[in-house]
Amino acid sequence: MRDKIRHLQQQLGIVHSGSTTLDYKVRYLQIAFNYDLALAQRLLPTIEFNERILIEAGTPFIKREGMRGIQAMRALWRGIIVADMKTADGALGEVEMVKQAGANAITILGSSPTESLDLFVARCAELGLISMIDMLGVCDPLAVMRPLKRPPNVVILHRGRDEEGTRGKVIEYRHINRIRSKYDVAISAAGGVDLKEARSAIFNGANIVVANLVQPGDQWRGILTTDPVGEIARKFLQTIE
């Protein structure tokens, strides 16, 4: 019966994980915080709550601040919080860790063993977390997904920050239709996303665009921390609607 309900939700365009729901007929903005908690505490309150905005505790943020950083974000944001753990192994423990800290979604690397991916997706479903597989460095996302017992909620097509300056490195939107032809999942586009790239991502069929907060002088693209972040977030939402 649960599988039938899940299949019906997928047909309706709903990605559901316990009490947390994404409608992949809706376009979402994910804002990634990659610095320290002080910056998050300063900027998060400037972002007006919107169900179409996801707040990400980025990998560098989690390495600096740990689970307490996610807990602090939860106190500041009542919407969806994504823990960008980039899990590689020990999937069960990391899923449980971020659940206890207050996150609604978590990432795992697509290059992880199939066993880890299966454990990750299953435990996320049990705990009501949105499961996200990050295809950073993966040449063929379908080769990762085919052996899985069940698909994740979200597949992330990711150009790494170290790749942004490499000529010819792009977010591989060509995989979107290939994935969608086989699986009912949401697609997230990440890696150097500004307003122009966000438009391209949505045009190519992505459901979620991930914009990094970047400090002046950084070589990466995204939303400058010195700019009015709340206002720019509204521009992103208007652009991708």
Structural domain count of the chain: 1
Domain span at 24: 2-240
Return the CATH number at 13: 3.20.20.70
What angle (nearest 5°) sits at the alpha carbon of residue 23, between those of residues 86 and 139? 40
135's CB contacts (< 8 A; 6+ apart) are 110, 141, 144, 155, 156, 157, 158, 175
Q: What is the pLDDT along the chain (241 residues), one digit of tens a residue?
A: 444 434 444 444 444 443 477 998 899 999 999 999 999 999 999 999 999 999 999 999 999 999 999 999 999 999 999 999 999 999 999 999 999 999 999 999 999 999 999 999 999 999 999 999 999 999 999 999 999 999 999 999 988 676 776 776 788 999 999 999 999 999 999 988 889 999 999 999 999 999 999 999 898 889 999 999 999 999 999 999 8
